[in-house]
Structure 1
Amino acid sequence: MTDLLDTTIPQLRARFADRSLSPSEYWLAVEARIAAFEPSVAALYAYDPDDARVQAAASTARWLRAEPLGPLDGIPVTLKELIATKGTPVPLGTAATVLTPAEADSPVAARMREDGAVIFAKTTCPDYGMLSSGLSSFHPLSRNPWNTAMNPGGSSAGAAAAGAAGYGPLHIGTDIGGSVRLPAGWTGLFGFKPSNGRIPIDPYYVGRCAGPMTRTVEDAAFAMATLSRPDERDATSLPPNAIDWMDLDIDVKGMRIGLMLDAGCGLEAEPEVKAAVTAGARQFEAAGAEIVEVGPVMTRGMLDGLDHFWRAKFWGDIRGLPAERRAMILPYIHAWAEKGADVTGVEAVAGFGQTMEMRKAAAQLFSTVDVVLSPTNPVVSYPADWASPTNDPERPFEHIAFTVPWNMSEQPAASINAGFSTSGMPIGLQIVGPRFADLTVLKLSKLFETLTGGIPSWPRPS
C-alpha cells in the first residue's frame, strides 16, 4: 500500500488505462490510509467513504470502457471546506455558522466533477480561514503528520495534513495571504498559488485564489488543465488558456533570479530557514542562473495597514451576528476582529491602499529580476494548538510578510520543499514569477525538484 500511495496522477492514469489497477482498488488503499492516520491528524470534514466507493466504481466502469470523463477521472481529491460542494454545509471553520447545505458546487468542485474526480471529503480550516493554523472552533484540531505535536499551518490546514499523510495525490486549498503556500511549506508539500483569476473561485475577493497542494510538481501541473477552465461566476477569472501545463522543461542559463532573505517586517527568518533557502538558490546558480540578493517588498506600514483593513472588514462581516453566535467564534479571532470597531473609515481605506503599494513595490522589483526566491515560512514550526506562529492576536500577520505581497500583486508563487530542520520538520522555498507566468513557476519548481530529488520518504501512521 505504501508504494501505491506514492503513485503520481499520470502514473495512476496509465495504470487505470492498462487495467493493472482500477480506481476502486486505488480508493481502497487511500481509505485504509485514512483509517490508520486520521485519528492522529484530523484533516477531514464531511468524509464519506461509502460515496467515494460509489464514485470510484463508476470511474472503474468508465475506464473499462476506455471512456474516462476527463484527465482526473478516478483520482481521489479533497477540497478545502470553504470550497462549496452541493448539499454539504460550509461551516467556514467556525461554530458560529448556521449549517445550511450549499445550493451548488463552486467552480473548483464543478470542474472536478466534470472530469470524474472522486471527491471524498472536504478538509479543515480555522474560523473563517483567518489563521495560519489547524485550530478551529468547529473542526477538531488538525495536526502535522511529520510531528503531530506541531501545527500544519493554514488556513488550508486539513489539505496540508491530508497531502502529507498520503490521502491521495490531490488536495485543493485557497490562498489570500499565504494559505496554500504556508501550510505546504510546513508539511513538505508543493503548494501552487497561480496568478489571481487563473483558477476561478466563488466568492472571489482581492487577493483570493485557489490552488493545488500535492506531493509532486507534476501532479499540481497536471491538475491545472482542469482547475483553470473559466467559470462565469468569477468576474475576475482570466480568459481561456492554451497552456500546455505538462511542458515543464526549462533552461535557466542567463536567467536573473533574486534571492530575498529579508521580508522587510514581521518575523525574521530563522537561521535554518535562511540556510535551506540559500542552498536552494545555489542549485539554480549551479544550473546556470545568476543569483542576486534583493531587498524586501513589504514594509511595516504595509503590513499594519493590511491588518487595519482586514480587522475592519471582518468586524463588519460578523458584527451583525447574534451575540450568542458571535461568542462561539474562536476567541483569538474574535479578540483580533473586535478591534476593527475602532478603525475609522479613513483608516480602513488607507489600509486597503497599502495593497496597491504592495503591487507597486512588486512591479518595481520584477523590473530588475526574472524570478524571486525566498523563504515560504520564517519559522520552522510551532505547536499544534497555537493560533499562529506568534499566538498573539495583536501580532497576527507577522508570519505572512514573505507570502502576502504576491496575492496583492496577483503574481504566481509556489512553495516547494527545500530540506529539513535538525528537528526533522520540512522547510519551504518560495518561487515567485511575474504576473501570468504560471508555467514558468511550475517549470522552475520542477527543475528544483529534479535537482534535489524531492522528498524520498513521507510520514506513515504509527
Structure 2
Amino acid sequence: MAQIADLTAVELLQHYRRKALSPVEVARDALARKALHEPAINVFCGGAEEDALVMARASEARWSKGEPCGPLDGVPATIKDNIAVKGWTNFKGSAVTSKAPADEDAPAVARMREAGAVFLGKTCMPEFGWKGLGDSPLTGITRNPWKLDRTPGGSSSGGAGCAALNIGCIHLGTDGAGSIRIPGAFTGVFGIKASYGRVPAHPISVMGFLAHVGPLTRTVEDAALALSVIAQPDHRDMTAMTTPPPDYRIGLADGVRGLRIAWSPRLGYVKTVDSDVARLTENAARRFAELGATVEEADPGFTDPLETLVTLWSAGAALALAPFGAEERARMDPGLVAVAEHGAKVGGPAYADAFLYQRNALATRMAEFHTRYDLLLTPTLATTAFEAGRLTPADGRFGDDWIAWTPFSYPFNITQQPAATVPCGLSDEGLPVGLQIVGPYGADALVLRAARAFESAFGWETISAPRP
C-alpha cells in the first residue's frame, strides 16, 4: 500500500471503504508530518490538534458501521486564517484582531464539517490578505517547500504549502486578486476559484465581489470533490447562488476534444514575463492541441484593468482597517496601512464607476470573447517564486509593487469568471510554473475538465519534504 502521505482524498475514501485505513491513522500521520515540517515552512497559525483527533475518531466510528456522513468523511483538511471555524480564533494574519473564538462556521467550513472532513488547523496568510505574498506581522515568513528561501506566494500561502507536502488533502483558501492561483503556481499545486457566488461566504469579504472561496489540492479530482461540497447554498450570503451545484466529478474525464481554446501569452499588455515561464506555459498551452482541442493565439482585447482593481482593493482595505486607530496601525504591515490610507481617499463616484461600469465593461468584453473561444489559457504568473520576505524580486525587473508580477490573475476577479492554475513544469532552477485556465462565467465544470485532461495526459511533479 502507498504511504499515507502520498494518498489523495479520493484514494483515502477508497481505503476507508475497504477498512484498509482508518481516519484516526490518517489524522495522526498528517499531524506528525505537520510537526515535522512546520519549523521549516511555517504554514500553520491556529486550531487545535485535539479537535482534529476528536473529528477523526467520530469519522472512524461512522466508517466502522459503514455509515459515512458525507463525501469528505475522514478527509484531512486545512482552513485559511480569514475563514471562520467555530471555536477557533480568526486572526486574519493580524496581531491586532480579536482573539475571541468564532461563534459559527463560515459556509464552506460548515459544509465541510457536515461532510465529515477532519480539520488539521488554520493556515497562515499575510495581514488581511492584502498582498500575494506569505508573510505577516503575526506569524512571520511562510516559506516555499520547493526552496525554503523563496516565498510560497499568497495570500493563501499556508494552504498552498500544506498542499505541496500533502499535509491534508483539501486546503480552503480565498482569492481576491489571485490569492489561490498565485500560491498554487509558486508551489506546484492545483487551485481554482469558481465563478463568483458559486461558493457562499459569510461574513462577506471587504473586497466584496472580487473575493472568491475555493480549494487548493494536489489533484484536480480532489478539487472537484471539494468544490461539490463547499458550493452548496447558504442563506447567509445574499450574493451567492441559491441552486445546488452539480457533482463536479461527473464528466471530469470527458477531455477537451473539439473545444476552441485561446492562448494569450501576455494578455495584450503584459510587458515582462520570465523566459522560463514563457517557454513552459506556451509548451503547455500547445499540448492541448494534442488532446484534440483547437488552440489559437489570441488576446481578449482589453487594456490592463489595474486602476479598477486598485480602486476596489484599496477601498476594501480602508474598510478593513476602519476600526483600528493609530496605535494598532503601528503594529500592522506598513504596506497594508499605506493601501488603506490610499483607499480612504477614494470617492464614492470613483468607487461606483469602478464597481459598476468598469467592472461590467470588462466582463462584457470577456463574455464576447467566449462566444469565439470556450477557454482562455495564460501564464498564471509572470515569474517563479522569488526571495521570501520581499514584495518583488530583488533585481528590480518588476519594480516595487507586488501586483506587477501577477498581471494575469486579477482581471478575472474583476470579471468574476472561474479560473484555475495547473502546474506545467519546472524552471531551470527547479521551481514550479503554473498555467492559468479561464472559462466563461458559470463554466466551472469546463475549467475543471480541461485541467483534468492536462493532468491525466502530462501530470506534474510533487515533493514529499521541504527542499533547502
Distance 2:329 2:245 in 1: 46
Distance apart, 1:91 and its partner CA = 1.6
2: CA distance, partners of 1:7 / 1:289: 31
Deviates more, 1:390-399 or 1:79-88: 390-399
Which residue is equivalent to 1:439? Answer: 445
C-alpha distance in structure 2 between counterparts of 1:286 and 1:354, whole Å: 37
Distance 1:317 1:115, change over 3 A: closer
How far does residue 186 in structure 1 lie from its aligned partner after superposition? 0.6
Tell me if structure 1 keeps the 8 A contact 2:300–2:366: no
Alpha-carbon displacement from aligned partner over 1:368-394 (angstroms, at most 9, x marks no partner): 211011111111121111135589997
Give the superposition deviation at 1:309: 3.4
Structure 2 residue aligned with 1:449: 455
8 Å CA contact 2:156, 2:180 repeated in 1: yes
Superposition RMSD on alpha carbons, in Å? 2.1
Give the conservation status (yes or no) of the 8 Å contact 2:78–2:123.
yes
* Cα drift, residue 72 of structure 1: 0.6
Q: TM-score, normalised by structure 2?
A: 0.93
- Counterpart residue number, 1:76: 76
Encode CA deviations 1:312-339: one digit per residue, 9 max, x unaligned: 3422442442210111110122123323
Offset at residue 283 of structure 1 (A)? 1.4
CA contact (8 A) 2:31 2:120 kept: no
Q: What is the aligned partner in structure 2 of residue 166 from structure 1?
A: 166
Counterpart of 1:59 in structure 2 is 59
TM-superposed CA distance for 1:297, in Å, is 5.2
AA partner of residue 258 (structure 1): A
Deviation, 1:44, is: 0.6
- CA–CA distance in structure 1, aligned partners of residues 255 and 343 of structure 2: 48
Amino acid at match of 1:289: A
Letter in 1 for 2:39: P
Greater mean deviation of Cα atoms: 53-62 or 347-356: 347-356
How much has 1:109 moved relative to structure 2?
1.1
Aligned residues of 1:134 and 1:142 also touching (Cα < 8 A): yes
For residues 124 and 245 of structure 2, what CA distance do their matches in structure 1 show?
A: 33
Residues 1:346 and 1:236: Cα distance change in structure 2 (over 3 Å): closer
Query: In the superposition, relative to structure 1, how do residues 35 and 298 fare at CA in structure 2: closer, same or farther (>3 Å)?
Result: farther
- Equivalence for 1:31: 31
Distance 1:265 1:419 in 2: 24
TM-score normalised according to structure 1 size: 0.94
Equivalent residue, structure 1, for 2:338: 335
Q: Distance in 2 between matches of 1:298 and 1:146?
A: 35
Q: Does 1:284 align with 2:288?
A: yes
Correspondence 1:370 to 2:374: yes
1:404 to 387, 394, 410: 410
C-alpha displacement of 1:396: 4.0
Question: What CA distance in whole angstroms lies between the structure 2 residues aligned with 1:12 and 1:104?
Answer: 28
Give how far 1:457 is off: 4.2
Any gaps of 5 or more consecutive residues in structure 2? none
Between 1:264-273 and 1:121-130, the stretch displaced more is 264-273
CA distance in 1, matches of 2:198, 2:343: 32
Q: Amino acid of the residue matched to residue 421 of structure 1? A: S
Q: CA 1:292–1:70 in 2, change beyond 3 Å: closer, same or farther?
A: same
Residue number in structure 1 paired with 2:19? 19
Amino acid at match of 1:277: T
Report the CA distance between 1:341 and its aligned residue: 3.9
Matches within 5 A, 1:374-393: 374-388=378-392
Partners of 2:301 and 2:96 lie apart in 1 by 36
Q: Are 2:210 and 1:210 equivalent residues in the alignment?
A: no
Residues 33 and 166 in structure 1, CA contact (< 8 A), matched pair in contact too: no
**Equivalent position SS for 1:82:** coil
Change (3 A) 1:50 1:273: same
Report the CA distance shift for 1:83/1:319 in structure 2 as closer, same or farther (over 3 A).
closer
1:194 is aligned to 194
Specify the alignment match of 1:122 in structure 2: 122
Equivalent residue for 2:425, pick from 419, 444, 447: 419
The match for 1:259 among 251, 259, 263 is: 263
- Does residue 7 in structure 1 map to residue 10 in structure 2? no
Q: Distance in 2 between matches of 1:123 and 1:317?
A: 20
Flag structure 1 segments of 5+ consecutive residues without an equivalent. Answer: none
Percent identity of paired positions between Structure 1 and Structure 2: 37
Report SS of the residue matched to 1:398: helix
2: distance between equivalents of 1:457 and 1:124? 20
List aligned pairs for 1:290-301, cutoff 5 A.
290-296=294-300, 298-300=302-304
Separation (CA, whole Å) in 2 of partners of 1:233 and 1:423: 46
SS of 2:225's equivalent? helix
**Equivalent residue runs for 1:291-370 within 5 Å:** 291-296=295-300, 298-300=302-304, 302-352=305-355, 353-370=357-374
Separation in 1, partners of 2:168, 2:321: 36
Residue 460 of structure 1 and its aligned partner are, at CA, apart by: 4.4
* Alpha-carbon displacement from aligned partner over 1:264-321 (angstroms, at most 9, x marks no partner): 4456221111111111112111122111111255524x20232133223422442442
Check conservation: 1:207, 1:407, Cα contact below 8 A.
yes
1:73 CA drift (Å): 0.8
The C-alpha deviation readout for 1:94-139, integer Å capped at 9, x for no partner, is: 2232322212111011111111111120111111111101111112
